[in-house]
A and B are shown apart, each in its own frame.
Chain A
Amino acid sequence: MTLLLARGVARRFGRQEALQPTDLEVGQAETLALVGPNGAGKSTLLALLAGALEPTAGTVERRHGVRVGWVPQRPAHYARLSPRENLELFARLEGEPRPVEAAARLLGTFELPRDGQASGSLSVGNRQRLNLAIALLGDPQVLLLDEPTASLDPGQRRRLWERVDALREAGGAVVFATQNVDELERHADRVVALRDGRVVFDGTVSDYEREPLADLFA
C-alpha cells in the first residue's frame, strides 16, 4: 500500500535545478535509502516529500490520514527555547492531545536535558537528538530522515535504528538519506540513488551494490 507518492516532482532554486522531475513511491513497511553525492538532490527530495518545500513542478500525494515526521539535516528548533519548551510547542502545533506528557516522554527517550537550558547552547549531538524527538511528535507513520545519525553517539544511533525498525514492523515507512554504506546495508530494503538532481538508480540493496554507481557514491 502506497503511503507517499511523488509524481514528476521537481524543484528549482533560481536558475539552479536542484531536482529534476522525479517519480517516487513509498510503500507500507518499507525502508528506503536515498544515496548520492553532495548536491545530488537528496535533501531537496526529502523536504518536498515532507511538504517543507513547495515543488516547482509535480505533486506529492500522501495517503489520507498518514502523518509524516521530518528530520532535516540541520536541526530545526528554536534556539532560545529549552528542549522541553520546543517539544511542547511542536506537540501543540502537531495537535497532540497531551502535549506536556508527550514532551516529557520524548525528553526521557532521547535523554535530553530538563534543566531549562536553551536549545541553542546544547551540544551538537543533543541538538540532533532534539531534532529527532520533534520529528517523532504526533506518532508519524512515515519518517523522513536527512542524514540523521551524523552527530549521534553510538548508543543514540542504535536507539534511533531500533525505533526505525519498530516503525517499519508496525507498517510504517522510513526514507533516509545517508552517505553511510553500513547503515544502508543494515537498515534499508530499497535504494534510490540520485545524481545531479535526477534518479539514476531505484532498486534493492543487493542490486545497488552490484551497480558500478555504488563505488562512485560510496
Chain B
Amino acid sequence: MSRGVIRSWLERAGDRINPILVKETRQALKSRQFSATFMLLLAASLLVSFGGIALAGPDLDYRAAGPSFFVGYFAVLAFAIFAVVPFGAYRSLAGEQEERTFELLAITALRPGQIVAGKLLTAMIQMLIFYSALAPFMAFTYLLKGIDLASIAMVLFYALAGSVGLAMIALFLATFSSRKSWQVMLSVVLIAGLLVVTIVSIPAAFMLTTESVGATLAQPDFWIAMGILATMYVTYFALLFQLSVAQLTFEADNRSSRVRFVLVLQFLAFVVWSGYAWVVHSSGEPEILVGLLVFAALHWGVAAAFLVSEPAGLSQRVARSVPRGAAARALTALVFPGPGTGLAFLLVHLLALVALTALADFTAPWLVLNAGPRLGSKPLTLFAAVLAAYLFFYAGLGAVVVRAIRRFRPLPAIGGAAITVILAMACILVPTFFALVLPYHQYDDYRIWQISDPIATLREIYKGSAATLATFPAGLAAIVFVLNLRPMARAVAEIERAGTPRQSAAGTGIASAETRGLAAEAAAQA
C-alpha cells in the first residue's frame, strides 16, 4: 500500500473521529499537565523498581516478590488513572462552561452526547497511554514470581473499568452548575472522593493479587456475580451519561426521554437478575426479596425526586417529536418530559414492582428450585406495597410542593429535587430522632406518630404484628395521588394533543406558556 493511500485513508478516518477528541488530544499533547504526569509516572515507576530491588537485596532471587512490586506499580498507576485523569476530565468540561466556550460548541452541529463522549474518549486515551507506560513494569512483576498473569489482567481490567466509571462521574458533576462557587465546591468534593478511591484501591489490588484467581474463575458464582456487577456498571454508566447529556441539552429540547428509557432498561435488568437470584439461587427465604426491594426503593427514591421536579409542559420542539400513531403515542407517553408524566412513570414502575413481588411470593413453592419449607408467614407483598406507597407519597408530596413554589417563583429541576429529598428526609428523620431521644420511649416500641418513617413502619409490618398499619401509608399515597391526578392527566392529554395533526402544524415561532416555564427555569439557573 502506497504512502498516499495510507495518508488518504488516515485522513478519512480522522474525519470520522469525534471533533472533541481531536481537539483535546492536540491540547493534551502540548499541555504541561499531561507531559508532567507522564514523566512523573515513569520516574515513580523507576523509583519503585530500584527502591524495591534495593530493599529486597539478595532475597529477591529466593522469595516471591511479584505481589509487592505489583502493588508498588499499581499505586503509581492508581494515582494517575483514579485521580489525575478523572479530575482532568472534570476540569475539561467545567472549563468549557467557565470560559463560555461551551455556548459556542452548543450552537455547532455537535450534539451534547458527542461532547460528553468526546471528553470521555479523551480521558480513556490518556488512561491507555498511562497503561502502556506501566505495561513493561507490570510484566516485570510476573517474572518475580508470586503473582500470575490472570491476577494481573484482572486487577488491570477492574482498574480500567473503575477509572472510566470515575471519569464518567466526574463529567456528570461538571455538568451540574456553571457557577464558579459551585464548581469550586464540586472540585473539592471530587478531589477528596478520588483520593479516597485511590488510597482504597491499593490494598484492594494487593488482596486480589495474593488470592488464587484460577480457582475463583472456575466457580460459576463468580461469573454470576460478575454478570450482576457488569449489568449494574453498564446501566448506571448509561444513566450517568444520559444525565450529563440532559444537563447540557438546550432547555427547549427533550432532556428526559433518553434518561427514562435507561431507567426502564435498568428496571428490566433488575427484574431479570432478581428473578434469576430468586428462582435459582435462593431457597425461597423472603430476606433476599426484602433486600432487593430496599435496593430498588433507594434507586427509585433518587430517580423520583428528579422525575417530579422537571419543568412542566412540553416545549414546542418536544411536542413535534410526539409520535403521530395512537399506539406509539400510548406506549411512549410516559417517557416525555414533565413532572406529570414523571409521577405516572414512577407509579407504573412501583405497581410493576409490587405485582412482581406478589408473583414471586405466591409462586415460590413451585418456581424456586431449592424451595425449602416456609417458616411462618412473612407479609412480603404487603411489605412491597407499603414501600411503594411510601415512595409514591414522598414523590407526590414533592411534586405538590414544587408546583406550589413555581406558582410564585422559578425553580430549577435540581432545586425541586433537593426540596423533594429534604421533605422525605424530614418525614423519616424527625420521628426517628424523637424515637431515639425520648427518655420514656424504646426505639423498638412502635408508636403511631412514627407513621411517616417508612423504616420503623415497614419493620413493624414485616414482623407481621400490625398489618392494619399499612392502611396509613396507603391512605397518604391515595391523597397525593388525588392531588396529582389533574397534573398527570393534563400531561398525558398534552401529549395526546401534540400527537394529533392539528397540533403538528403549530410552529409560528411564538413561544408558548411552556417555553415560558423553560425560560423561567433557565433564569433561575442563571
A binds B: no
Which B residues contact A (CB, under 8 angstroms)?
Answer: none
